[in-house]
Each structure stands twice: as C-alpha cells, then as structure tokens.
Chains A and B, each alone.
Chain A
Amino acid sequence: MTNGGVRHGEPLLDVRDLRVEFRTRDGVARAVNGVSYTVAAGQTLAVLGESGSGKSVTAQAVMGILDSPPGFVTGGEILFQGRDLLKLGKEERRKVRGARMAMIFQDALSSLNPVLTVGAQLGEMFEVHEGMSRKKARGRAVELMERVGIPAARERVGDYPHQFSGGMRQRIMIAMALALRPDLIIADEPTTALDVTVQAQVMDLLAELQREFTMGLILITHDLGVVADVADTIAVMYAGRIVETAPVHQLYKAPAHPYTRGLLESIPRLGHKGRELYAIKGLPPNLTAIPPGCAFHPRCPLARDICRTDPPPLYEAGPDRASACHFWRETLDGGKEIFDGAR
C-alpha cells in the first residue's frame, strides 16, 4: 500500500502555516511561526538552518513527537496523504507514526535503547504494527539488517547497540525507519555524528533506498555540503520561519535571501584560499523575543528602515522559488558587492 492515498500530482505531505510554541517559565518561545512546505513522493526536501531555527521542531510536530508540555502546536495544518494529522485522535496518529512516516535521528547511539538488542528493537515494529510473532519479527529484523548492509546480520541480530560502530548503528536506525515501508522519511541530521567517510556511505544508502521505495524524504541539516547532491528542493529556516525556498541548484547559484547568502559565503572553498571567510555577525534571536519586522534584520548587511518594522512576506522570486526578504531582487543580482563591502 505504498503511496496508497496519494493521487498523482498531489503532495504527500503539505504543511500549511504551522505554528509551534514552547511555554516556558520565563515566557513563550515561538519556535515555529507559520511554516509551509510540501513534499511529493520520491522527492527530497532539505530543510536548512542553524540550531534554534525551528527545523527540528517542525519535523517533530509533523511526526507528532513534540514534547508537550512545554511544546504546543498553536496553528496550521499538517496534511499527510490528504488527511490533517492535527485533527486525528491520539491512537490514529500513533498508527501513522512509524508505519506511514518514520524518523531517523542524529545520534544513533543515544537514540537506540541501550538495554535491548537491535533485533528486539527492529522486530518491535512488526510486532506492534503488524501483530507479528516475536520469532517471525526477528526473522524480518535480520532481513532488514541485511538490506541496509550490515555484515553477518544473522549473528549480530542479538547484539546491543553499543557493540556496533557509529556507521553501523546509523544503518540500524535507517533499517528501523524503513521497516514498514513508510511513505515519508524524516531524517534529522542523519550524518552529523559520523566520520566524514562514513557520512557519504550513509547518505548514499538513504538516497538509494528512497529511490527504491519512492518515498518522500525530508532531510534536516545545517550542513550545506550534505544537501547539494541529494536534495531536490531546499527550504532555509531562520527564527521559526522559512526565509527562502528554491530548487537546490538555483539556490546555490544565486541565493535570494541575505541569510542564505551569508550561509553560502561562510563555507570554505578550495578556490578561495587566502581569502577571509565571511561570518554572519551576531547571534540567532531569542525565541521569546523575536525582533519586530524581519527577524534577521539585526544581523543583515542590507537592513533598512522597512526591515525593522514590516515583516516581509514570502515573495515569489522566480519559478518554484520564494524569498522572505524585502530586497530579494537586490540580493539575487546585486548583493555581491554589499557582502564584499561587509567583509
């Protein structure tokens, strides 16, 4: 029943104007402020942003694993295969989790239960969602481990997470997410904790499996390098909003938001040896007191009076792209000098 409820052309996941806040003792932290994005079957959306930009919180809200309290979804819709997940009951929501959409976390060592064997943790998916017997589920666990490329899977199914290497553990996480052939995978910084050489292998495996099962993939990352090869579309988040979305190559070629531009400029490149790296000045805002106007204005080299007062809407900045900057046009073509001037 892969992709069962989705008609052709309709997005698999359609997040509309999602709002999430954390009610803490010293105020309300508005972590997600009207985020909208769509993911189609077989498509990869990369969500890019610093920690605190709301990229993980959005994903957690989609998965329905937000810690509540203090986190609350205060508005918007999460349409998944045409149904608004926020309107589902707890039990219906649970049945979607793991089965129809699954999540891969950053740190596989802490994300796997240290006192249960990997076989038990993989098999659990089949036991709970498909009512399979423990023995049969274990057999399926071995198959899964083989599929994600774990050598000697049959012997290792009874091992504990700490007995595997970092890369192998992340493969197990992937296997667990794939167990029930979900339609959507959310990968939250899946390779950040790994060695560079292993990162590529894990990313390749993920991309390969995504193609094989035509799944939608949301790849959350702060690493522009990871994104380039894998993603179709990029959404850049800042202070709980999407500030720019664009097809991946267009964004790399010519960003339409000063923040994206700053991120790209701060990547070291081979050809630029000897040049000072650009750094976005200042710090991300306190989510309990997001600056008025454009949230990025205190750090923006282009900021003018309008930026301090009027929050920019998402401007159409070409086919399939949008930018939440009053001066997206200037950024798109003329921004270079301004940034060089700011350096």
Chain B
Amino acid sequence: MPESYVPKEAIGHGDGGTAALAMGEAESLERAPAAGRPPGGEPTGKPRSLWSDAWHDLRRNPVFVVSALVIVFLVVIAIWPQLIATGNPYRADLAKAQEGAAPGHPFGYDTQGRDVYTRVVYGARASITVGTCATAGAALLGSLLGGLAGFFGGWWDTLLSRLADIFFGIPVLLGGLVFLSVVTSTTVWPVVGFIVLLGWPQIGRIARGSVVTAKQNDYVQAARALGAGNGRMLLRHIAPNAVAPVIVVATIALGTYIALEATLSYLGAGLKPPTVSWGIDISTASTYIRNAPHMLLWPAGALSITVLAFIMLGDAVRDALDPKLR
C-alpha cells in the first residue's frame, strides 16, 4: 500500500465506530487522501478500481474472512466427505436407533440407527450442489433476460417484466410443492430446475435495473455517440457495471436457495431418499423432537450455518461494493 492511501471506509462507514460526519463538512474530509500528495503534484497512489477497492475492504473484514473459510470448508467436504467422515451414511444399526452421542459417534444415531455425524457431513453435498447449480442457472438466465430487457427496452422489456411478474405472483413454496410433487426423479435436477425457474426474475430485475442505470451514464452515451455497436456497448461498458449488483444478490440468493431446498425436502417435495439431505433428515427427526432432539439439532445447525455463511458473505460483499453505504 502506498502510504498516502487513506481507505475510503474512513468516511462515515457503518460498522467501525465511525458514524456519520457532520453533513456540511463531510465533503472536506473526503478530500483527506489528497494530503499526502506533494503539493500540486500527481497523486502517488495508483487509481483503484471498484473491484480492487472492494477486495481491499473484504480482506480486512472478519465477517467476510470467516464466512469465506466456512464456505471453502463446506465445498471441500461436499466434494470429498470421506476426508472427515469415514463411515457410511446409509449403514443402519436399528439396535442403536435414536441413541445419543457415543465414542466415535459424536452426534449420536438417527431413528434408523444411522450415524448422524456421517449423515450431516454427507448432507453438505446435496445442499451445496443445489445451491450453486440453482444460483448459477438463475444468475445466468436472470442477467441474460434482465440485461436484454434493460438494454433494448420497448416491448421486449414489457414482455419480460410481465413474465417476471407472473413468476413473482406464485408463492414459492406452493409452486414448489405442486411442481415437484409430480416429479419422481430422485436426483437434484428437478429441484435445481424449479429454483432456477422461480429464482431468475429476482436476479433479472436487479440486472435490468443496473443495466438501465448504466445505460444512462454519460460515458455510455458518449460511446454510443461515437458509434460503438450494441455488442461492444454491452460487453465493455454496461456489463461491468451490472455485474456487481448481480453478484451480491446471487450470493445472498445462494443461501436462501439452500434453505428453500431444505424446506421443500422437509415438505416431501424436494430431494428424495436415498439422497442424503439435511432437509429430509430434519423432517424425519421432527417427529421425535421430544425424545431425541439431537437428531434434529445437528442437521438443523449444519443447515443454518451453511445458509448463514452465504448470506453473510453476500452481505459483506455488498458492503464492499456499494459505495453509498460507506
């Protein structure tokens, strides 16, 4: 870091003990970074982009670091659960059904006598797969359709906005129940497909909004006046501006999609056995909550921590990317 650099978050950022500055004089302090410069000379620090600024903030944000570490850990065990769980998630020992913690079985046994710890570890795979695939799908579809609607406007915009309204009008859980109750596949794909179907309008709206805003920027207007073609405009000038909000919404959405998958599985319409899913296990355990709460608490805890990690990550990224909050 060049010495002269004074981080922007010094100015009225929410979370570090610096509250708002006096309104009238806030602008004067925003000039603070200028001080270290030689008088009349050029700034010694390199100009920083939104992204490098954000990255600089994020690395110092403990919320970001912790949630990112949790997510990396989850992804690793989703791919290689054997790393930390040597058992077999399907191995049932009915004699030990609903028993509590025992040596080698720290989370106890479920109602069929399967090891809860192993099932919790293996359950990460379904949640992470559904979460990432659904988010990727919804983000791609949403930013494509939303971006096009925002860029071209006109009837294309009207049509897509109404289409998005239609999907917004359907209560998510009900739609999921109806749509998925007729599906017999035991893979994760119907669930992913459904979430993409109902999830894209949310991201689409964000993408549309930021494209419309970016389109009105003076430099974009200037590029158009200079004869830049549509493709070049979209790729070089508009997309980079629309990407940040989409990433933020998508990260938070990833968390909520994982929760949605679990809820659908809980209602019997999401994933189906033999897939190991926290939602299914919680649903099964809920009947026995009075006698063996551990069967519910462990998968529920794992689920909540996973969702929390993604939502916190999204929150931290938003704080870093949204200069208005500084």
Alpha-carbon separation in the docked complex, A190 to B16 (Å): 34
Q: Is B31 among interface residues, defined by CB-CB distance under 8 A?
A: yes
Asked if A60 is at the interface of the complex by the 8 Å CB criterion, the answer is yes
Q: Smallest distance from the beta carbon of A298 to chain B beta carbons, Å?
A: 4
Q: Does B94 contact A (CB under 8 A)?
A: no
CA distance A332 to B33 in the complex (A): 34
Q: Which of A283, A287, A299 contacts B29 (CB 8 A)?
A: A287
Q: Are A24 and B29 in contact (CB under 8 A)?
A: yes
| Cβ contact within 8 Å between A284 and B28 | yes
Which residue of A66, A69, A288 is within 8 Å of B19 (Cβ)?
A: A69
Interface contact A286-B33, CB-CB below 8 Å: yes
Q: Residue on A with the closest CB to B11?
A: A24
Known: A24-B10, A24-B11, A69-B19. A31 touches B35 (CB 8 A): no
Nearest Cβ distance between residue B284 and chain A, in whole angstroms? 50
**Residue pair B29, A22 in contact (C-beta under 8 Å):** yes
A76 sits at the interface (CB 8 A)? no
Q: Does B27 touch A at the CB level, under 8 Å?
A: yes
Q: In whole angstroms, how far apart are the Cα atoms of A54 and B29 in the complex?
A: 11
Q: Is the CB of B21 within 8 A of A52?
A: no
Pick the contact of B7: A26, A57, A67 (CB < 8 A). A26
Q: Judging by beta carbons under 8 Å apart, are A51 and B34 in contact?
A: no
Question: Is A67 within 8 A of B22, CB to CB?
Answer: yes
Range for the number of chain A residues in contact with chain B: 20 to 34
Report how far A70 CA is from B17 CA in the complex, Å.
9
The answer on a CB contact under 8 Å between A67 and B35 is no
Compute how far the CA of A54 lies from the CA of B32 in the bound complex, rounded to whole angstroms. Answer: 14
Task: Flag whether A25 is at the interface (Cβ < 8 A).
Answer: yes
Within 8 A of A (CB), among B18-41: 18-25, 27-29, 31-37, 39-40
Q: How far is the CB of B124 from chain A (nearest CB, A)?
A: 38
The residue in chain B whose Cβ has the minimal distance to the Cβ of A288 is: B32
How far apart sit A91 and B37, CA to CA, in the bound complex (Å)? 45
Those 6 A-B pairs whose CB atoms lie nearest each other, nearest first: A286-B35, A52-B28, A56-B24, A282-B39, A298-B39, A67-B22
Task: Say which residue of B17, B32, B33, B36 sits within 8 Å of A29 (CB atoms).
Answer: B32
Cβ–Cβ contact A70 & B21, under 8 A: yes
Q: Looking across the interface, which residue of chain B has its beta carbon closest to that of A188?
A: B24
Interface check A281, CB cutoff 8 A: yes
Is A216 interfacial (CB 8 A cutoff)? no
Instruction: Confirm or deny: A123 has a beta carbon within 8 angstroms of a beta carbon on chain B.
Output: no
Q: Is A98 an interface residue (CB 8 A)?
A: no
**Which one of A287, A289, A298 lies within 8 Å of B28 (CB-CB)?**
A287
User: Which A275-329 residues sit within 8 Å CB-CB of chain B?
Assistant: 281-289, 298-299
Give the Cβ gap from B7 to chain A, nearest Cβ, in Å: 7
A252-295 CB contacts (< 8 Å) to partner B: 281-289
Q: Tell yes or no: A71 within 8 A of B by CB.
A: yes
Taken residue by residue from 224 to 239, chain B's Cβ proximity to chain A (1 for < 8 Å, 0 otherwise) reads as 0000000000000000
A136, B150: Cα distance in complex, Å: 52
Residues 4-35 (chain A) with a chain B CB within 8 angstroms: 22-26, 29, 31
Residues in chain A near residue B39, CB distance under 8 A: 281-283, 298-299
**Do B31 and A284 touch across chains, with their CB atoms under 8 A apart?**
yes
CB–CB A25/B10 < 8 A: yes
User: B31 to chain A: which residues have CB within 8 Å?
Assistant: 52, 283-284, 286
Please report the C-alpha to C-alpha distance between residue A8 and residue B207 in the assembled complex, in whole angstroms: 67
Q: Are B22 and A66 in contact (CB under 8 A)?
A: yes
Residue from A26, A54, A282, A283 within 8 A of B10 (CB atoms)? A26
CB distance from A261 to the nearest CB of B (A): 18
The answer on a CB contact under 8 Å between A286 and B32 is yes
Contacts of B11 in A (CB 8 A): 24
Question: How far, in whole Å, are A285 and B28 apart by their CA atoms in the complex?
Answer: 9
- In the bound complex, do residue B24 and residue A71 qualify as a contact, i.e. CB atoms below 8 Å apart? no
- B53 is an interface residue with CB less than 8 A from chain A: no
Cβ–Cβ < 8 Å partners of A282 in chain B: 39-40
Given A22-B21, A289-B35: A281 touches B40 (CB 8 Å cut-off): yes
In the complex the two chains form, is B23's CB within 8 Å of A24's CB? no
* CA–CA, A254 and B167, complex, Å: 73
Determine whether B312 belongs to the interface, using a CB cutoff of 8 Å to chain A: no
Residue B157 at the chain A interface, CB threshold 8 Å:
no
Name the residue of chain B whose CB is nearest to the CB of A50: B28
**Given contacts A57-B22, A70-B19, A282-B40, are A52 and B6 in contact (CB under 8 A)?**
no
CA distance A298 to B317 in the complex (A): 40
Known: A283-B34, A286-B33. A22 touches B22 (CB 8 A): yes
Which residues of A lie under 8 Å from residue B29 when comparing CB positions? 22, 24, 29, 52, 287
Are B25 and A285 in touch, CB under 8 angstroms?
Answer: no
Chain A residue numbers with a CB within 8 Å of B20 are 67, 70
Known: A24-B10, A188-B24, A281-B40. A70 touches B32 (CB 8 A): no
Chain B's closest residue to A290 (CB) is B35
In the complex, the answer to whether B35 meets A25 with C-beta atoms within 8 Å is no
Complex CA–CA separation, A67 to B22 (angstroms): 5
What residue of chain B has the Cβ atom nearest to residue A280's Cβ?
B40
Q: Give the distance in Å from the alpha carbon of A242 to the alpha carbon of B7 in the complex.
A: 30
Query: What residues on B are CB-neighbors of A281 within 8 Å?
Result: 39-40
Residue B9, interface by CB 8 Å: yes
**B38 to nearest A CB, angstroms?**
9
Residues from chain B with Cβ under 8 Å of A60 in the complex: 22, 24-25
**Complex CA–CA separation, A51 to B28 (angstroms):** 6
* Min C-beta distance of A342 to chain B, whole Å: 12
